[in-house]
Structure 1
């Protein structure tokens, strides 16, 4: 709900009796008992002239009966005289104020050592992300009273809430002008003078109106005089779609800029179609420079669901053809950069070939250091607004791009920015004052007070949720919560990211060590706190893993980070670990993005240890250990076959899919769409993603009593080298597989896939869970599904000769709630319906996690089996000399933890402890196949009763049976 305007709030004040018959009447609470102080900004910030409240706003507060005190400051945009005329008093300090308001964070030296009273401070405190440079300030403010941060004021709770007080528009407006000024100087260094040289910088203007007039003057001069041919057309690109880009685009209207589309740039610049008497602007929101790595066009929801599948082509399509880039696009770790250093160098090559006027200046209004623009490595200043970026690989003749990255751009337009801020802030302040004076609160003020509560970081000497995690960051000599010496200082510190299904054994194992302090960071504080409960050396904090600054703050002073977050987030987390020189342990596969960090990790002497879960993890350890022992006997391994999976115990498996979820369903569903490559019985198989569920092993005879089926797991050939198996030509079989249902899992999953329920390419909004299948069918067949008849016709059309399989599985679909049942469903049958559009796969994940979750008393089972067939290296009679070595691990869940939680969680905990104790001395990006890792891992698992049962025999092994049961091409 948007905040009411200031005028609406003032009308309410009139109605409630502050004004009677035109004369001022104060409430029964004496006006002078409430003092509001407007403090001065940090004296060291010479250019900071903004003020949070205008004289007009002060006059309104005085009329309410508030005693307004303004701290003496001669550089503020409004003079002392203007505030005194509004009814304020000029004071040397605001130590007597009940409420203290400012813009930027208050210098510690400006805080009273022992405040006369508890105060409420309003400011951009720059503390809520755990910024180390302001932790001492936060510690002091804890003792001052209440801290409310403007940056946290939003129109609604949750991540979808939008900030209601910000300077983005003014930053974009000033950033555009600074970018043009910097570009004129760039051209001048090349011996090219333009009319832009006469454009004053923003701070020279007395108002925004004056700056607009300067831009109009520039536009007229360019229209009349034109630009030199050597400079080429003036083309400004503006990225982003928020207030920053709006401010820049609004200013470009003043120079009569002609808007062009990104697709027109090549013709405009290279083919001589541009008019040198015009300014051109190209607006570049994300859809114009982001594309999927597979070439598919940008789709917003898909991008936010899977940012790792996208990359930026700004350096190819936009950058070489423009004069100036004004960047207003935000960026978060885990998302592709707009341009990295290599891409900037590539863009410079093309730009210089076109002409010296291309890609001369980049104004990064976001000033996100080493963020969306990797080469923006520092903030520039109003005094020194420019630095030059010329990454390695740039053409020698190119002078490098002028970079403008001023982080206080709005203060270059201090009066207009302050009026804008004051108008946005006043409704909140008025509602807050009414609450402090215990006056009746109107319905329109309730949302404002709730927003103020959400924006409160500290109150009554305590950090409020969700800011309690900042206790670990406070730079205090005493523990902030207990006021006793911090015993954690002499402990080794571990940070656990994630508090989900497999975290419990990790926490229990780590907290057995009294010399260790564990911080559990999750996006559900209640869940994280439940894990920490009962452990004196564990604490829970609320954290957003996409917030780089917050992660940096959490990692400082840590020895090891364990991440149980989704694999797509691990490269960005690993990069922060390298920067902070903290070791990392994960249970995820080593992705190409993670592998690319190897040299950086080596240089920083940091270990990025991955694949320390079950699969990948324990399977690698046991495989390498078995293979090495067989090879040490002088035999040559000719076949390696491995299967691993987590399943419900047989007595709990009579459910749809024959499967229950002890970890996130999304991983199971997406894994069913992976490409698979393997070798079996001397034949090489490659299964495309859309065929994996159709290509299963109908019978995996690991041991008697379990009728198992399996799927091939990714590229099995990738493990020939890590396992020490030699070239593929010498192997009869190389297969890694995943166990699923006791027969039938792949059939039903294949049907779900064909019906469109595993689709991630689009989103939809449901009005009821029972409509999910119908909406997917409609997209597949292009016709509306209105009843059972049209539904059956669509399924027949999609499944064809597999319809008989669907009929056999209809009862499972009905039981899951994917088809209407015609009967009343019990309360709680479905989970809560999401209020935002999701991909079908995400809807299905939520539904399965609810319908196929483990009930109290039910248990799961993990089965991991390896088979090695080896022959004598002396070819006397290889058939007689062949031996079959089998290794089997079976783990059941119990009332304390699921089998999946133990087999995934314990290895990462054991690995972290070994790193802390110095048993693992390798560095860089590695998996667990190094001897110092897998030997100790198997030893630690055995001490926890997870022991592999081994047998040795003779014969052909599993290969022939698996080949006979193969249903693929």
Structure 2
């Protein structure tokens, strides 16, 4: 009997746990799910004979380390800042580690030790990052194998709400970690465009959104995502003129979020006292209010929009224009905003989310320029078995199976850009209707 230890039972863990438990009888696995919330674990594992819930404080080495010692494979869906403590334990106790999170500078320092120990630490093995890497590299390798010279690569991905479930002016509902949504883009973005390195600050990101046509959905807005340039080496496209990874949203979302950024409501660095503070006074803390104007007119004047505009409707929907008291004690603006969006933009039980991924690659072959589009649209089932949980969790589960079957011999610290990873994983993902359509022009 092989043992799998999963840290984290949150929104993204549902499909992963389902996959591991479905495969457990045939593969002779046992899964331990560790999280601080016992009821949350049990809601995901049910009464399965093949699952053991472990309600623990992840930060406590006295309970964390024995679990790692006793397992054959560790999967981490913890908040990003906690991965490093698990990674150090996995190195100490010689355990392979899989996670959907980005490679961070701290684990990068362990790279030589991981390789020396003969372990595999596979990071960025979820959706974005994850499926984006695998599907992109499959295309890139295929084009290059046929003699194509790539000169432009653009990759887009978004966790959206299905059009059938849109019922608010934001055209958005939360299907994953709300804190990550609030802080998305806060580090700005860098990418290459027509041979030049470009950088956008956080304040510029949502103010410079453009749109792209997606088959069956029409126009979606996008903004550059994090440090695209840092992936040019991993994709072995160091010398191409254009390279960008971007996040997709419905256009109305970007317009509204730009207003929240301008108001300073996504700031996570300074705490303010929210007891006896109204939502309107919180939202306008950086404004010079004209007492002769109403709430909506003051807000509209600052944002440079009409008081009857879509943006004002969006702020009204979040409750930012009323006189209700917050009463959350001392909090950062980002924490208050997270509390608001978790309430106002939550998915209802019957709501369905949607994942959209699109690669646009321009290349030259036999003196002929070609533009290729490869896209994937995946719908969720409800507000628990979401498309987000499916696309984040299944790649981890499939790779876990391959590792425990000893079909993968790769060692070291990696992201999934090599054929021995992406070929079998993408092949099995198609069994779950996660597949790409291609077109050329």
Alignment TM class, shorter chain as reference: over 0.9
Whether 1:855 aligns to 2:367 is no
Which residue, out of 736, 759, 763, partners 2:245? Answer: 736
Bigger strand share: 2
2:275–2:329 CA contact under 8 A, matched in 1 = no
For 1:756, what is the secondary structure of its paired residue? coil
Q: Give the greater-gyration-radius structure (CA).
A: 1
1:615–1:644 CA contact under 8 A, matched in 2 = yes
Cα 1:603–1:553, aligned 2, differ >3 Å: closer, same or farther?
same
Q: Which residue of 1 aligns with 2:282?
A: 775
Whether 1:897 aligns to 2:399 is no
Q: How does 1:416-435 map to 2 (within 5 A)?
A: none
Q: Which residue of 2 aligns with 1:507?
A: 17
Whether 1:950 aligns to 2:438 is yes
Whether 1:887 aligns to 2:374 is yes
Whether 1:842 aligns to 2:335 is yes
Q: Which residue of 1 aligns with 2:132?
A: 619
For 2:10, what is the secondary structure of its paired residue? coil
Which residue, out of 300, 316, 321, partners 1:814? Answer: 316
1:746 and 1:889 map into 2 onto residues whose CA distance is 22
Q: How does 1:164-313 map to 2 (within 5 A)?
A: none
Cα 1:793–1:885, aligned 2, differ >3 Å: closer, same or farther?
closer
Q: How does 1:141-152 map to 2 (within 5 A)?
A: none
Which residue, out of 603, 606, 631, partners 2:144? Answer: 631
Q: Which residue of 2 aligns with 1:715?
A: 227
Summarize deviations over 1:558-601 as a string: whole Å, max 9, x none. Answer: 11111111112112221111112111111011111121111121
Q: How far 1:821 sits from its partner (Å)?
A: 7.6
Q: Which residue of 2 aligns with 1:596?
A: 109
2:329 and 2:57 map into 1 onto residues whose CA distance is 20
1:754–1:798 CA contact under 8 A, matched in 2 = no
Cα 1:760–1:669, aligned 2, differ >3 Å: closer, same or farther?
same
Whether 1:574 aligns to 2:84 is no
Which residue, out of 400, 414, 417, partners 1:912? Answer: 400
Q: How far 1:936 sits from its partner (Å)?
A: 1.6
Q: Which residue of 2 aligns with 1:762?
A: 270
Which residue, out of 23, 40, 51, partners 1:538? Answer: 51
Q: How does 1:404-443 map to 2 (within 5 A)?
A: none
Q: How far 1:772 sits from its partner (Å)?
A: 3.1
Q: Which residue of 2 aligns with 1:24?
A: none
Q: How does the TM-score come out when normalised to structure 1?
A: 0.43
Q: How far 1:794 sits from its partner (Å)?
A: 5.7
Q: How far 1:748 sits from its partner (Å)?
A: 0.8
2:278–2:323 CA contact under 8 A, matched in 1 = no
Q: How far 1:943 sits from its partner (Å)?
A: 2.2
Summarize deviations over 1:234-272 as a string: whole Å, max 9, x none. Answer: xxxxxxxxxxxxxxxxxxxxxxxxxxxxxxxxxxxxxxx
2:169–2:310 CA contact under 8 A, matched in 1 = no
Equivalent pairs counted in the alignment come to: 437
Q: Which residue of 2 aligns with 1:675?
A: 188
2:229 and 2:20 map into 1 onto residues whose CA distance is 35
Q: How far 1:913 sits from its partner (Å)?
A: 1.6
Runs of 4+ that moved beyond 4 A: 785-788, 790-794, 833-836
1:721 and 1:898 map into 2 onto residues whose CA distance is 33
Q: How does the TM-score come out when normalised to structure 2?
A: 0.93
Q: Which residue of 2 aligns with 1:752?
A: 260
1:834 and 1:540 map into 2 onto residues whose CA distance is 35
1:507–1:531 CA contact under 8 A, matched in 2 = yes
1:656–1:813 CA contact under 8 A, matched in 2 = no
Which residue, out of 929, 932, 938, partners 2:420? Answer: 932
Whether 1:551 aligns to 2:64 is yes
1:774–1:791 CA contact under 8 A, matched in 2 = no
Q: How far 1:835 sits from its partner (Å)?
A: 4.8
1:657–1:745 CA contact under 8 A, matched in 2 = yes
For 1:656, what is the secondary structure of its paired residue? coil
Q: How far 1:787 sits from its partner (Å)?
A: 6.9
1:494–1:519 CA contact under 8 A, matched in 2 = yes
Summarize deviations over 1:291-343 as a string: whole Å, max 9, x none. Answer: xxxxxxxxxxxxxxxxxxxxxxxxxxxxxxxxxxxxxxxxxxxxxxxxxxxxx
1:656–1:816 CA contact under 8 A, matched in 2 = no
Summarize deviations over 1:519-578 as a string: whole Å, max 9, x none. Answer: 111111111112121321001111112222221122111111111111121122211111
Greater mean alpha carbon deviation, residues 790-799 or residues 676-685: 790-799
Cα 1:669–1:541, aligned 2, differ >3 Å: closer, same or farther?
same
2:292 and 2:438 map into 1 onto residues whose CA distance is 54
Whether 1:657 aligns to 2:170 is yes
Whether 1:865 aligns to 2:358 is yes
1:755–1:773 CA contact under 8 A, matched in 2 = no
1:580 and 1:555 map into 2 onto residues whose CA distance is 7
Summarize deviations over 1:740-796 as a string: whole Å, max 9, x none. Answer: 12x12121111111112111121123236x823412423x24x6x797847567646
Q: How far 1:506 sits from its partner (Å)?
A: 0.8
Summarize deviations over 1:82-104 as a string: whole Å, max 9, x none. Answer: xxxxxxxxxxxxxxxxxxxxxxx
Summarize deviations over 1:101-150 as a string: whole Å, max 9, x none. Answer: xxxxxxxxxxxxxxxxxxxxxxxxxxxxxxxxxxxxxxxxxxxxxxxxxx
Higher relative contact order, structure no. (Cα contacts within 8 Å, ≥ 6 residues apart): 2
Q: How does 1:49-88 map to 2 (within 5 A)?
A: none
1:673–1:689 CA contact under 8 A, matched in 2 = yes
Which residue, out of 486, 497, 511, partners 2:7? Answer: 497
Q: How far 1:603 sits from its partner (Å)?
A: 2.3
Structure 1 residues without counterparts, runs of 5 or longer = 1-490, 823-829, 954-969
Q: How does 1:684-723 map to 2 (within 5 A)?
A: 684-697=197-210, 699-723=211-235
For 1:691, what is the secondary structure of its paired residue? helix
For 1:612, what is the secondary structure of its paired residue? coil
Q: Which residue of 2 aligns with 1:643?
A: 156
Summarize deviations over 1:599-641 as a string: whole Å, max 9, x none. Answer: 1212222221100111000000000000100111111111111
